[in-house]
Amino acid sequence: MSRALPTSLLMSIASRHAETRIIEAVRAAGFDGLTVAQARLMAGMEEGGSRISTLADRAQITKQTATVLVDRLEDAGYVVRAADPQDGRVRLVKFTDKALVMIPAARAEEERIECEWSECLGDGEFAALKTALEKLRTITDRSA
């Protein structure tokens, strides 16, 4: 007899499915060369820029790994490092124009996924799922 999958694994399966679809949509829009790890790092970026340590926390990787990924994203033209206007000693990772042109393709696929999930669950259950995940974020997301 097989056991029921734990909730955390069920959430991971759904998350990875969405992540894969978003990356495929971005690639189909002509933005190739992005790895899953790079896309995951970019997904954690804030519009005004993010510190590498914050990106590492959000992607659940070491700061050294995040630095390597940022180096590769910078080489590909998706991000730049810039001085933090609030603390000149700190560098922020910011989106380039190339990335800003790519983001709508990712957001459109996110919207399609959310519509499919809402249709599958029904509006009430989907809203409850989002509310529950936001509550869980308060204890699972160190950068929140």
Candidates 96, 65, 67; CA nearest to 80 is: 96
80-115 residue pLDDT tens: 999 988 888 889 999 999 999 999 999 999 999 999
> So what's the pLDDT on residue 88?
80
Asked if the structure places residue 1 within a domain, the reply is no
127-136 residue pLDDT tens: 999 999 999 9
Asked if the structure places residue 83 within a domain, the reply is yes
Candidates 6, 10, 20; CA nearest to 113 is: 20
* 143 pLDDT higher than 90: no
Residue recorded with tokens 């029904």: 122
Asked if the structure places residue 116 within a domain, the reply is yes
Asked if the structure places residue 84 within a domain, the reply is yes
Element (H, E) at 82: strand 79-84
Q: The domain that contains 133 carries what CATH number? A: 1.10.10.10
Provide the domain limits for residue 129. Answer: 7-140
Burial class (CB in 10 A: 0-12, 13-18, 19+), 75: exposed
Domain count of the fold of the chain: 1
69-83 residue pLDDT tens: 999 999 999 999 999
Asked if the structure places residue 41 within a domain, the reply is yes
DSSP-derived letter for residue 78 is: S
Asked if the structure places residue 128 within a domain, the reply is yes
The reply to whether the predicted model has a pTM over 0.75 is yes
